């Protein structure tokens, strides 16, 4: 499979669909879901449903990660994101693409223990019963136990005369929330008996400091130019020293990652909290690093916590989400995390390149003008005519689009 598809963005939608079908080995049922399927299961996913909200799903091209090519489904309302992500991947592809690695899927659950007669004695008692507690927790998931995974350790923190018990769990290909919360609730009674205290909160943490993904890419210096390489490195250093800039810098990373998570109906809100909390551990910093090698190429890397699943969850409820996972073609949660980190790095690089070169608005405003033309009622070839006129005039507004559309109806455009 080759994700380097020439002029994919210029193709008619049916031509794009046929290419995706061929490259992803989709069948006719898959194509029916892609073309016109209304996922009635979505009405049962949440409470009080009255309608469905639709967002466009596009494909980011040019991605090569760990030697394999990927088509990346992304769902987002913001113009220019997918184009920028594909462009970032293209600069990396020249030098071989992305290299990524994910650690094991280690998560933490927390139990808050209060009204403890003797905190130090309570900790000793828990440690003496550690194996029993872990065995109890692991009865809640036959699947994890069968995979030699599940609850693997217990840690503690003392806060304001309370013990915070951390249950450390290897969740394999699950995101982990449901199984960890089930474990915590099941063992909490045993914890109370051992400590003589009471348990309050029993909940998984969305900060996954042991579940980290690393991605690396070399962006071709000849294609970028020496000045742009230097300016991108300066921009990243700017983010290291200014929290206002760092916030927007990391938001650009999440533009890409969130869009993939939304297309596959994974929990993008959890990943947002995870990434930003991790960036804040030693004072809020950018999640990426950039440097220049001896040949003048730009070296980019990202280190980001990623807790994402390929089993269970809403993905298995929605046929559209299942289709997008099939197009993505991943085998397990580690591979999925590798893709997400690479997308985040590509998105960040593309944003910095645009900022360091012509500015972020040039490409964005062209797509913004297109949205305005469509909202004004333009269709077919009229869209490009109105967009090009508004850009030439530097007058991108709904009222101007209406004027141009009316002029076209009168044969004046």
Active-site amino acid positions: 78, 251, 267, 364
Any idea of the CA torsion for 176, 180, 181, 182, to the nearest 10 degrees? Answer: 110
Q: H/E element holding 112? A: strand 106-114
DSSP string over 319-360: HHHHHHHHHHT--SHHHHHHHHHHHHHHHHHHHHHHHHTT-T
Q: Residues 328-367, buried b or exposed e (16+ Cβ, 10 A)?
A: bbbeebbbbbbbbbbbbbbbbbbbbbbbbeeebeebbbbb
Q: Residues 9-29, buried b or exposed e (16+ Cβ, 10 A)?
A: eeeeeeebbebbbebbebeee
Encoded tokens for 78: 């913001």
Q: H/E element holding 110? A: strand 106-114
Q: H/E element holding 139? A: none
Encoded tokens for 43: 């009405």
- Residue 44: DSSP 8-state: G
Look-up of token digits 């230097």: 230
Largest separation between any pair of C-alpha atoms in the chain: 87
Strands of the sheet with 106-114, listed across from one edge = 150-159, 162-170, 106-114, 198-204
CA distances from 351 to 115, 250, 345, 359 (A): 51, 11, 10, 9
Q: H/E element holding 102? A: strand 98-102
């Amino acid at each position: 499979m080759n994700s380097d598809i020439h002029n994919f963005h210029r193709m008619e939608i049916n031509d794009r669909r046929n290419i995706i079908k061929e490259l992803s080995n989709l069948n006719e049922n898959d194509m029916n879901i892609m073309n016109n399927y209304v996922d009635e299961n979505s009405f049962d996913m949440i409470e009080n449903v009255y309608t469905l909200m639709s967002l466009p799903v596009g494909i980011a091209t040019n991605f090569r990660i760990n030697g394999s090519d990927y088509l990346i489904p992304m769902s987002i309302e913001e113009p220019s994101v997918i184009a920028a992500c594909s462009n970032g991947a293209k600069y990396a592809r020249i030098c071989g693409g992305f290299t990524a690695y994910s650690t094991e899927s280690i998560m933490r659950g927390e139990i808050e223990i209060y009204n403890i007669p003797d905190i130090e004695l309570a900790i000793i008692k828990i440690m003496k019963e550690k194996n029993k507690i872990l065995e109890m927790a692991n009865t809640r998931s036959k699947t994890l136990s069968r995979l030699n995974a599940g609850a693997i350790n217990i840690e503690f923190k003392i806060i304001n005369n309370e013990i915070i018990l951390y249950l450390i769990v290897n969740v394999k290909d699950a995101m982990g929330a449901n199984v960890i919360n089930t474990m915590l609730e099941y063992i909490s009674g045993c914890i109370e008996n051992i400590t003589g205290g009471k348990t309050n909160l029993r909940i998984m943490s969305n900060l996954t400091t042991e579940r980290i993904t690393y991605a690396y890419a070399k962006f071709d210096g000849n294609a970028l130019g020496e000045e742009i390489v230097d300016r991108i490195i300066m921009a990243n250093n700017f983010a290291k020293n200014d929290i206002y800039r760092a916030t927007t810098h990391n938001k650009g990373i999440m533009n890409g990652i969130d869009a993939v998570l939304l297309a596959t109906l994974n929990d993008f809100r959890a990943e947002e909290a995870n990434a930003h909390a991790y960036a804040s551990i030693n004072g809020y910093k950018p999640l990426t690093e950039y440097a220049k090698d001896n040949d003048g190429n730009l070296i980019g890397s990202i280190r980001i916590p990623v807790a994402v699943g390929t089993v269970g969850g809403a993905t298995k409820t929605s046929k559209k989400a299942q289709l997008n996972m099939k197009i993505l073609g991943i085998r397990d949660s580690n591979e999925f995390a590798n893709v997400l980190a690479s997308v985040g790095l590509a998105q960040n690089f593309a944003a910095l390149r645009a900022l360091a070169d012509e500015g972020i608005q040039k490409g964005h405003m062209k797509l913004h003008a297109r949205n305005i033309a469509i909202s004004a009622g333009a269709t077919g070839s009229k869209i490009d005519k109105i967009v090009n006129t508004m850009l030439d005039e530097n007058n991108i507004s709904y009222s101007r689009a209406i004027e141009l559309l009316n002029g076209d109806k009168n044969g004046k455009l």
